[in-house]
Chain A
Amino acid sequence: MAEIGAGCLLARSLDLVLQSRGNANAVFDVLEFLQSEKEDEILSAVRTCSRLFGSLLERGELFVGTLPEEDEPTVAANCSAEDQYRIWMRHRYNSCVCCLMELMAHSSFQVKESAMCTLMKFVSLEGKYPLVKVDWDEKYNFPQELLKGVVENLLLVEEDSSLLISRFQEFLEYDDVRYYVMTSVSDNVARVMQKSKEALLPVYQQNVFSLISSLNMPSQESELNNFMVKQQANHEGWKVTKLKEHRRAFERMWIGFLKHRLPTSLYKKVLVILHDSILPHMSKPVLMIDFLTAAYEIGGAISLLALNGLFVLIHQHNLEYPDFYKKLYNLLDPSIFHVKYQARFFHLTNLFLSSTHLPLYLVSAFAKRLSRLSLSAPPQALLMVIPFICNLVRRHPACRPLIHRPHGPHDLRDDPYIMEEEDPSKSRAVESSLWELQALQKHYHPDVAKEAELINHPLSDLETDVAKLLEMSCYELFEREVKKKFKSVPLEFEPVRGLFGKKKDICVEHFELL
């Protein structure tokens, strides 16, 4: 009953307010419902608010200009009744907006969503029917303050609002909204992080990340034509229409975000998208150097990921990175074949090592280290890394002694290569041979063994395309094996005696059936 009552009540008060100014006090009823406990009551109240103030905005029944305080005595004195009504209504509008902002932190997603949508509707209407006096200088108006409030409420410190943010994404398609969101985010981040004094705020930072990582930046100025608020005058001078301004805002936002310490998981996430969706849209990507070098120094998976961004900077922005290869060399450790980003890492390493101007010691060190690591690699990685090593040798014919040293010192007691040495130039890889690949010729997997046997003969000139092999997973390898057609199945000829009855059964030495 109450619900129906609330619905009816809201509809009636909406009618009343819209019909005549005499009934303006019914607005209070509506605003009251906004603070209700019940979810559906709030929902219908939000809807009513949206319609009510929407039409009021359209009719121009809200006060325009700097709003005097409500209880200011001058208002009553100086203004006409008409103005007084509009000032009063404007105050109601403001309180409604406040309520809606609060509702964006409501526990129910539906409430949050409808509150946000209503606010965004107000944003677009305010843009159309501005509530600020238009000066001749600043003829482009956009309700920045309102949008800032929305953004502030999206980026909550305690609560994960990724769902709401993904809902918000549809508004980010508007170029003007995006621009103002970027500026407000950078303000917001600066403010919040300053307050927290360099402590980690995982939830907040996650929220910020999910908002700003979903920004879809245009790549050409001509694409900037989708505005939420259409300006009557020509767009010429408006900042929003300039791609450069967009980029600058974008850059400021990201740098503001990244200059604070990040949780590791977020670090990885940022690095994953960095090269693809951040760097290209920055006006000065070189500004990211500090961040990337810091990340590269950290080591482990983060270093692997930082490689990608560094590569873009080195490749396109002339970054000179001292000891880059040495660091890359030290990134290679046994876990490299077991991490998630293996494909990406090897793709980049392949790129870095594709130069034919690299010194011999470096390439040999890489080849030798990779082959040493391959001794503990799973088969799918082996299928990739063996052709990789072979490619290195092909690219740098001077490396050939690694697999073919006819007049070398015979009967060595030890492998000259020093695995522990961090500096590739001192690792003595040049004096070594790839015995590891020779050992892998006895690998149990037939394909791996075949690949490893390539080094027994002079390598062909054509490089193997590693790109196809990078993404192979263990399961794919298995599937490939199972799908192979077979003509005949050779059988065991040793007669069976039981489960553990084979000759030289190893299991029987350690396990018992019972």
Chain B
Amino acid sequence: MGRLQGSRRRGASTGIPEAIRSNPFEVKVNRQKFHVLGKKRKHEVGLPGVSRSRAVRKRTATLLKEYRQRGKSSVFIDKRFGEYDTKISPEEKMMKRFALERQRNTDKKSIYNLNEDEELTHYGQSLADIEKLNDIVDSDSDAEERGALSAELTAAHFGGGGGLLHKKDASAQKEEVPEKAKSRKELIEELIAKSKQEKRERQTQKEQTLELTEKLDSDWKQIQGLLAHKTPTSKRKDNTEFKTKPDEYDMIVRELGFEIKVQPSDRMKTEDELAKEEQERLQQLEAERLHRMLGDNEGNKNRPKHTSADDLGDGFVLDKDDRQLLSYKDGKLLNLGDEQGDNENENESVMEEGGDETSCEDEENETSDDDSHSDLESDLDSQEVDGIPENKEAVKTKPKKKLLRREEAQFEPVGTELPYTFTAPESYEDLQHLLSGKSGEQQLIVLERIQKCNHPSLAVGNKAKLEKLFGFLLEYSGELATRDPPELKMVDKLVLHLYNLCQMFPEAAGGCVRSILRDAAHEMEEMIEVKGRAALPRLDVLVILKITSILFPTSDFWHPVVTPALSYMSQVLIKCPVVSLEDVTTGLFVCCLFLEYVSLSRRFIPELINFLLGILHLSVPSTGIVGYTLVHPFRLHGKNSELLLVSNKEDIETWHKKYLPLYAVNGLTETSKTELNHYRLSCLATCLDLVKKSISLYGSLPAFQEIIGPIRTLLTDHLPVKEYPKQLQELVKNVLEEMDSKEKHYEPLVFEKKKPVPLKLYTPKVVEILDFGRKQGCSREERERKRLIHKHKREFKGAIREIRKDSQFLAKQQLSEIMERDRERKRKVNQLFNSLSTQEGEWKALKRKKMKGESTN
């Protein structure tokens, strides 16, 4: 009932006569306490009388009916069309009823069943009759009368126009009458028949087209064979016959077909652009290095990378164009990869760049980044492995890479004697076996070929093989260094291979170097536990340390390989006592390495300063009191406390600065006293130079004067400088000058300024209100929910009111019924009383009559 309210109200504002609305007794004005501007008002005026009467009317039509039929089980429904509609005239009503009836009849059970319906006519003639024509004239055969069809034919075929016209002539009068008398019914029938016919025609036409297409198809299939001439059939035959052994010609044809067409590429870059690009690349790398040096890359790492909405989540990032651009330099074809490094394989260079720039990317990714061209090349490579001689390949690839390395050119004639393919060594012994008995150049070629034959793009297991190779090579370089005499030249060459391999597999290489360092440190620790002191490391470890500084950036704040290496070197300087000139050499070399490691990052190494001080102390004649303190492993007085002291005047005068040979680490060759003294002085010179270098490195440190203080005391007060050769005196003077040139400047320490926390702002938050009256400030769902709750409440109230009114209405109805019944009864009782009193009266009158009569008698 409640739902009907709205419609009723809408009716209230429209269909009410003006008389009622203007009647002040009917109108109830809802007074407004105050006016709100712009507010739409709905219920200013009410018409209680009208609305009440409407409600009553409605209830009598619905509720009252229900009430009256409450005890009844069946209902009478009058379904006649428009029976109770007074608006339609009886004529119209009849028309509609007829149409409805027809419609009901035409409703077929199946639209495909055409025969079911009534007979179709055409101008009153049954269509069935027309179709059963007896005299079919073949118009095609009648050549003479071509173009002019006989009237009968047309009449028979087209049933309509012509025939009718003829007939009109004959029986015009007769025909006209029925035509005119065509009732509405006939007209309608005709209409329907016409539309049906059209429909049927359309259907047949469609069927025909379908049939024709099918036929055409089948025909085409037959003809197709003929059209294709003979080649396809023969090919088909061939295919079936020789599928197992493809014809060479076919293969060529295929290959030609699939060959990559020349694709448009970017224009060639000019020299300037190339240089600029290279510079940019280096700048970027340098920036990354600086970033790592400052040690704040870890914070960035944690931050999740931005992922695009289109990201497939497959880890494939295409943020830069990896394609190699052709470029010329001095009229020669130039490859970026060749310029950067010295790798043979173009593939490799691409990968290396990838490795450089995005070192965190997986190897797989990098290989997959290779374009199809490189795939093709790798195919060629694989053929090489299968046995095509390498020099052929060299000829092939020569035009590709123009910048041939000198070395390779050198090795070319030697290389011809060696086999072209090598399997990657499975163990260190394999490698030794491979390289033993070969000259240095041959060894390098062997290594180069191993790397080529086992390039990771060629087979799945090659990556692991080459990773192993790196470890073996590292071990091999260590072994070369321990040989007597050490073959450092060879190591020097091997470093190139190590570098290349390391660029390919940074993780594996890092792990490898780490494990070697770990072994060395472990060995030292064991020695300390057993003997109480450790010897300085041998040349092999020194070489590994040096190689580490070549392969990895030493300036990083933390680096998985470099930091342990630094730790190891610090252990060496702290724990190993210096007892011989060899030890001095080793120690100085370690100091050199240390300085080199920190040359970019300028980090402070207390051990280094201590050690240099100790070494300098070795050249001071022991007197007793000194103004500085030595720390472990050096002692003020002891067995070797004058190891570097030179007192022979003659030797001092004949000294010239010489390089310290690295092999001296394994054992000095100089034996004569003069040579030894010279060697001592060289060590001293080296040491002083290192002091100078560290001064320039640490000059900017806030406590520089305190750091360098002991060395200064030693140099000024204790070192017998005056006895030293001119060159050394100069050096000492330089060092002291440099020390003094560093400014003594102390600023009191202050905490870093904190970033000011912004004050809380009290400006109101502006929210755009798009539509008034709605509940603001909550989510859409919440708003919808609130709206529904509100609506439900209102509807509920309305429903209660309606129900109440219904029951009032019903009660009133029942009361009126009861009153009616009572009145009826009263009336009947009165009637009875009346009749009885009449009866009584009559009877009394009769009695009186009788009495009268008796009296009269």
- List A residues at the B interface (Cβ < 8 Å): 333-335, 337-338, 372, 374-379, 382, 401-406, 408-415, 433-436, 438-440, 442-446, 449, 455-458, 474-475, 477-479, 481-482, 484, 486-493, 495-496, 498-502, 504-507, 509-514
Contact = CB atoms under 8 A, between A and B. Distances in A.
Interface in B620-637: 629, 631-632
A489 B596 contact: no
B746 A489 contact: no
Contact of B574 (A378, A415, A501): A378
Nearest to B657: A510
Contacts of B561: 489
Interface in B509-560: 509-510, 514, 517-518, 521, 524-525, 543, 546-547, 549-553, 556-560
Nearest to A405: B748
Q: Which 10 residue pairs are nearest across A and B when measured between Cβ atoms? A: A486-B560, A408-B748, A489-B510, A338-B632, A405-B748, A412-B746, A444-B603, A512-B659, A489-B506, A439-B703
B285 A493 contact: yes
Given A435-B703, A490-B292, A491-B552, A509 B566 contact: no
B11 interface: no
A427 to B, nearest CB: 14
A502 B549 contact: yes
A378 B844 CA distance: 153
B756 to A, nearest CB: 15
Contacts of A382: 606
Contact of B282 (A474, A486, A493): A493
Interface stretch (B63-71, B353-361, B848-856): B353-361
B650 interface: no
Nearest to A416: B746
Given A433-B749, A442-B604, A484-B560, A375 B703 contact: yes
Contact of B660 (A409, A439, A440, A512): A512
A143 B291 CA distance: 82
A480 to B, nearest CB: 9
B686 interface: yes
Nearest to B505: A489
Given A378-B607, A402-B749, A439-B704, A499 B356 contact: no
A445 B567 contact: yes
Nearest to B754: A457
A438 B702 contact: yes
Interface stretch (B93-101, B162-170, B490-498): B490-498
Given A506-B693, A510-B659, A512-B661, A491 B503 contact: yes
A379 B594 CA distance: 15
A444 B566 CA distance: 8
B750 A511 contact: no
Interface stretch (B303-311, B457-465, B585-593, B714-722): B585-593
A134 to B, nearest CB: 57
Nearest to A485: B560
A337 B663 CA distance: 34
B531 to A, nearest CB: 15
B707 interface: yes
B525 A475 contact: yes
Contacts of B744: 413-414
Contacts, number: 260
Which of B340, B603, B704 lies at the interface centre, i.e. has the most chain A CB atoms within 10 A of its CB? B603
Contacts of A510: 588, 592, 659-660, 686, 689-690
Nearest to B658: A512
A491 B553 contact: yes
B546 A499 contact: yes
A10 B238 CA distance: 114
Interface in B690-707: 690, 693, 701-707
B599 to A, nearest CB: 6
A335 B686 contact: no
Contact of A443 (B488, B507, B604): B604
A415 B491 CA distance: 49
Nearest to A339: B632
B595 interface: yes
Contacts of B499: 492, 495-496
A496 B563 contact: no
Contacts of B506: 488-491
Nearest to B528: A475
B660 A495 contact: no
Given A482-B514, A506-B595, A438 B703 contact: yes
B495 A410 contact: no
24 contacts: A374-B606, A375-B707, A377-B606, A382-B606, A415-B746, A443-B603, A449-B557, A456-B751, A481-B564, A482-B517, A488-B360, A488-B506, A489-B509, A489-B561, A491-B356, A491-B359, A495-B341, A498-B495, A501-B495, A506-B595, A510-B660, A511-B660, A514-B661, A514-B662
Contacts of B472: none
